[in-house]
Each structure stands twice: as structure tokens, then as C-alpha cells.
Structure 1
């Protein structure tokens, strides 16, 4: 009996291009369901294919209690299961196989078509073999979508929920920008330029900290490209998100100055204990340094790891005199 089932598993796995372990799981599930129906069992039933026999257990209060089923009865139940339940379980196994393939793509960019827009704003995206979800929270706020739109997104994770799989996508995660940069800038993919950190306000602004393996090479110029040729298509993909590329340095003062560009820093005062920096900029450049809705300085805080207090030259001097 078991030998025949093993042959069936091998044959189906080959025909359907499904791993043997998934086919075996489907067959055991179908036999378990048939036993539950036949004996009117409500508890969970587990089936094992031993060397020369099929072993059956009932899960009762966390314990596996073996059930004795005579070979003739087991043959009848297994034959019924193979006809009635196996195809359904096989469909589930095939679906599981397709989702498991996407686990290997976690952290990579995928391309899909919007098939449906849920009431809560989540997008159901067709990735070809499976459907995925781009939740509202993972969408760039200023973007709007319609059914049939083609979109790129980061495959954030594959999760299992209630016996089925769910693929979660993101367009707001920093790694989406990282992967876009890798695709556009060959030097990043080849390891000549490293991305040390990325902070984003999706659709608005991002700061990217980069370092070149060769100190003589300007990593910012490489990433931005001639007249912005490499960064421009990424900005377009991210609905106009402005991307500031910053060269990494061990000099914190210099890093703070670069992080606030294009605003010129006139003076700077650092408090290493509090990890706080007070920065003076020309009055007419104050709004540039702070940025719209405070975004520039907020992202500068994150990329440097220091709290940056931006003020005009006048206020900076007044504060110095008061101390």
C-alpha cells in the first residue's frame, strides 16, 4: 500500500512540477480528511507514511493518540481519499509551491499589474503566478492608482495567514530606493560604491549616505550621474521624491554640513554629550535648511544620528552671548 502511494507521489510530483514533499503533504492531508469523515472524528488527525504501513494519530489535548485501522479499511479509505480529496489538496499544494518561490524574492523588486483596489485603499497586484497586496500604508501618499496600472514595488515579505500565503509589497521602504539605485548604478551593484544608510519621506525627499571603496573616487558623482542622469529616473519612479546623495565622512561637523545642503552652514556648535548640534545659516536660507514641513532637517537628523537645531546667524549669536 505504502509503496503504491510513494509511486503515486513521485508520479504526481513529476507531472505537476511540485516538490515531492508537498505532494506527500497533500496526500496525507487528504487521507486524514477521509478518515475524519469516515469515522466522524472532530479532532485533528495526522497521517504518517511509514516504511510498510500508514500510521494514524488523533491529536487530543496536545497528545498524539494512535488509531488502529485494519489494512482492508485503510485501503478503502486511502482509495477514497485519492479520488475525492487528493485533487483539492493538490491544488492547495500547487498554490503553496508558487508562493514559496516568491520567498526567495523577498527584498527584491517585482513588477505587477493592479487588478483590484480594496475599500481600504489596499491594492491587489497580479505578479503573474500569484496575487500580492500593496497595503495603503506601503503606498507613496501622493500616488493614485487604477485597475490595469503597472507598478514596481519591493517584495517586503511573504507571510502565512490561516493556512494560506500573503505577499506584502512596499513602495515606501528604504530598501525599495536601495534596490532602484542598485539597478540604475552599476557601481553600487558591483560593490565599488556602498550605500551606508537611507532615510525617506516617501514621495517627498530622501537622503542617501554613500561611500566609495576607492577614496579617490567621488561616490556622489557616480550615483547622481552626469547632469543627474542616473538619479532622475529614480526620482520619476518615486513620484518626484527629491534624493540628496551625501558622501560619508568620519568628521561629524562636515557630515552635518553636507546633510543640510543646499543650505550653506555659516557656523556650528556641537555638544557630544547630548549628541546635539546647533547650526547657523543665513536668514534668507533658513527655510531651505529646514525644508518644507521641516523635512530637510528631520531627515538630516536621521542620516547623521545627531539632533540638529537650525537657526539664523542672528539667533545663533544671541544664544552664544546668553551663555
Structure 2
């Protein structure tokens, strides 16, 4: 019986282009399922295919113990399992293999087709061998999708729940913007240009902090491209997200000034122990510095790592005079 089962394993492994151990595990799981159904057993069963026959063990907290089952019953149930349960277990094994191939792609861009849109607006995406979920929270707010649409997203996470794998996608994560920039700007991929930080308000605006190993090279110009030729396709992919590229500097005061662009910053007072800075801008430019719904200053906070307290020049002077 075991000899026949081993032949079956080798044959299926060859036909399905699967590792022998994967097929063997699927068959042993199928036998375990058949025995549990027949004997109404709830405990976990460990099935071993040994030369002298099939061995089954009950697995409990205190250890493993042989299951009292006759060779005749074992052969009957194994034959049944090979016909009825094996295909189900094999499908699970093939599915698992498909998901495991995507583990190495975590943090990279994947391409798929929208297969279903759920009531909660989560999207089921067909990636070919497997499916993935693009949750509502990971979708760019202004975008809408329909079944059949092609979609590009970051493979955010490969997780396993209740024995099944699930792929989670994102179009809002900062790393998605980074990967898109890598596609358009080879110098980022090669390391000539380094992306120091990215902050996004998905679909609205983003700030990207860049530096160059070669001081003669303008990293902003390289990333933006001639007449915006490199940054434009990235912005288009992100539903028109306005992407501002900023040159990094070790001078934190200067970095803060650059981060609040397009507003002109006239004065900065650093409070290092709080990692906070008080920033003065012309009164008429205060709304520009803060941005719509505070977006400009929020993004500046994220890419600098400092909390920026932005105020008019008049309020800045008043605050400093109180300290004198």
C-alpha cells in the first residue's frame, strides 16, 4: 500500500511540477482528514508513511501516542483519501506554494486585475496564481475601480491567518511612491540618488527628500527630469498627486525652510530637546505654509522628523520678546 502511495506522490509531483515533500504532505493530510471523519476524532493526527506501513499518531499536549487502528482500516481509509480528499489537500498545497512565491515580493510593486469589489469597498485583485486584497484604507481616496480594471500596487504584507495566506496591497503607502520613483529614476535604484524620506497625503500631495553622493549632481533635477518628464508619470499613476522633490541638507534649519516650500521662511528657532522648531513666515504666506487642511506643515513634519510650529513674523517676534 505504501509503495503504491509513494508512486502516486512521485507521479503527481511530476505532473503538477511540485516538490515531492509538498505532495507527500498533502496526501498525509488527506489521510488524516479521512481518519478523523471516520473515527470522529478532534485531536491533531500525525501520519507517517513508513516502509512497513502507514503509522498514525494522536498528538496531544503530553506528546504523541499511536492510534489504535487496524492495517485493514488504514488501507481502506488511505485508498479513500487518495481518491476523495487528496485533490482538496493538493489544491491547498498548490495555493500555499503560490502565496509563498509572493513572500519574496513583499515591499515590491505587483500587477493585477480587479476581480471583485466588496460592499465595504475592499477590492479583490487577481495576481495570476493567487488573489490579493486592496483594502479601502489602502486606496487613494479620489480613485474608483470597476471589475476588469488593471491595477498596480505595493505588496504591503503577506500574512497567514487560520492556516490560509492573505496578500495585502497598498496604493497609499510611502514605499509605493518610492518604488514608482525607482522605475522612472534609475539613479535611485543604483544608489547614486538616495531617497531620505517620503511623506504623502495620498492623491493630493507628497514631499520627497533626496540627496546625491556626488555633490556636483543636482538630485532634485535628476528625479524630476527634463521638464518634469520623470516625475509626471509617477504623479499620473497616483491620481495626480502633486509631488514636491526637496534637496536634503545636514543643516536642520535650512532643511526646515526647504520642507515648507512653497512658503518663504524668514526665521527659525530650534528647540532641540523637544525636537521642535518655531518658524516665521510672512503673514500673507501663512496659509500657504500651513496648506489645505494643514497638509503642507504635516508633510514637512514627517520628512524632517521635527514638529514645526508655523506662525506669522509678528507672532514669532512677540513670542521671542516674551522670552527675553
TM-score when normalising by structure 1: 0.94
| Structure-1 residue corresponding to 2:192 | 192
| Structure-2 residue corresponding to 1:266 | 266
- State the shift of 1:70 in Å: 4.1
| Structure-1 residue corresponding to 2:38 | 38
- State the shift of 1:52 in Å: 4.2
125-134 vs 32-41, which deviates more? 32-41
Listed as ranges, the matches of 1:191-230 within 5 Å are 191-230=191-230
Aligned length: 323
SS at match of 2:200: strand
Q: Distance in 1 between matches of 2:128 and 2:112?
A: 7
Are 1:277 and 1:309, in contact at CA under 8 Å, matched by a contact in 2? yes
Listed as ranges, the matches of 1:237-252 within 5 Å are 237-252=237-252
36-45 vs 279-288, which deviates more? 36-45
Q: Distance in 2 between matches of 1:78 and 1:8?
A: 12
| Structure-2 residue corresponding to 1:283 | 283
- State the shift of 1:15 in Å: 0.5
Q: Distance in 2 between matches of 1:42 and 1:295?
A: 56
| Structure-2 residue corresponding to 1:100 | 100
SS at match of 1:273: helix
- State the shift of 1:259 in Å: 0.4
Unaligned residue ranges in structure 2 (runs of 5+): none
CA 1:266–1:37 in 2, change beyond 3 Å: closer, same or farther? closer
Question: Deviation string for 1:166-220 (max 9, x for gaps)?
Answer: 1111001111011001111011111111112211111112111212121221111
Q: Distance in 2 between matches of 1:129 and 1:33?
A: 26
| Structure-1 residue corresponding to 2:77 | 77
- Alignment root-mean-square deviation, CA: 1.7
- State the shift of 1:295 in Å: 0.7
240-249 vs 1-10, which deviates more? 1-10
Matched, 1:147 2:113: no
SS at match of 1:140: coil
| Structure-2 residue corresponding to 1:29 | 29
201-210 vs 117-126, which deviates more? 201-210
Spell out structure 1 runs of 4+ moving beyond 4 A: none
- State the shift of 1:68 in Å: 3.8
Q: Distance in 1 between matches of 2:109 and 2:62?
A: 42
Question: Deviation string for 1:68-113 (max 9, x for gaps)?
Answer: 4444433332222211211121122122122222222111111111
Are 1:3 and 1:52, in contact at CA under 8 Å, matched by a contact in 2? no
58-67 vs 121-130, which deviates more? 58-67
Q: Distance in 2 between matches of 1:283 and 1:11?
A: 78
